[in-house]
Amino acid sequence: MGHRLGRILITQDEISLRVRELGQALARDYQGKDPLLLAVLKGAVVFLADLMRATELPIACDFIGVSSYGASSRTTGVVKITADLSQTIEGRDVLVVEDIIDTGRTVAYLKRNLLTRHPGSLRICALLDKVGRREVEVELDYVGFSIPNEFVVGYGLDYMSLYRNLPYIAVLEPEDGGKLP
């Protein structure tokens, strides 16, 4: 298939420990509130499922679908919403849940878009932060792990729609002189 699974970058145990810590941080920071966890499809779904069970806050969840910007809109950072929220977020404490922040363009766009809907508060929680790839400055409120600039799959992250189901995060390596995006 031109690629193979390489070494495990973050194990299942490391993920589960960190998710538990994030859940405790949310419980502390949102005490007395009922935040809306907003997962960005599709990669963040696995993280959301674990994160929402790592806190006993009365939370709600919703989903938003975005399309990756094409080559032509790379510089403008225009992201298209392909599936919108099922509810209004006016006055709600919204926490955007992402699997990975790369260039930062998707989350920067989402932030701008969601702020026009007047949430009570808006924060970002990302499992992985590929800091070295950042093109747009974005403030992340909760980060699971900072990772090097390698192509990773698993725990929601895919390569050509595969590997989202892996319970750990692994590096994907090209085979036979191939190249990954």
Does position 150 interact with ligand PRP (CB under 6 A)? The reply is no
Single residue of 27, 158, 159, 173 touching ligand PRP by CB under 6 A: 158
Does position 119 interact with ligand PRP (CB under 6 A)? The reply is no
Single residue of 37, 64, 101, 172 touching ligand PRP by CB under 6 A: 101
SS3 (DSSP) at 46 = helix
Catalytic residue among 102, 129, 141, 176: 102
SS3 (DSSP) at 50 = helix
Strands 142-146 and 121-129: parallel
Single residue of 24, 68, 146, 149 touching ligand PRP by CB under 6 A: 68
Residues in the chain: 181
Closest approach, Cβ 123 to ligand PRP, in A, equals 16
The span from the CA of 166 to the CA of 69, in Å, is 26
99 as an active site residue: the answer is no
Single residue of 2, 13, 16, 41 touching ligand PRP by CB under 6 A: 41
Burial class (CB in 10 A: 0-12, 13-18, 19+), 20: middle
Buried b (16+ CB within 10 A) or exposed e, 96-124: bbbbbbbbbbbbbbbbeebeeeebeebbb
Single residue of 48, 106, 122, 166 touching ligand PRP by CB under 6 A: 106
Closest approach, Cβ 70 to ligand PRP, in A, equals 11
Residues in the interface with ligand PRP (CB under 6 A) total 15
Residues near ligand PRP, by CB under 6 A: 40-43, 68, 98-106, 158
Active-site residue numbers?
102
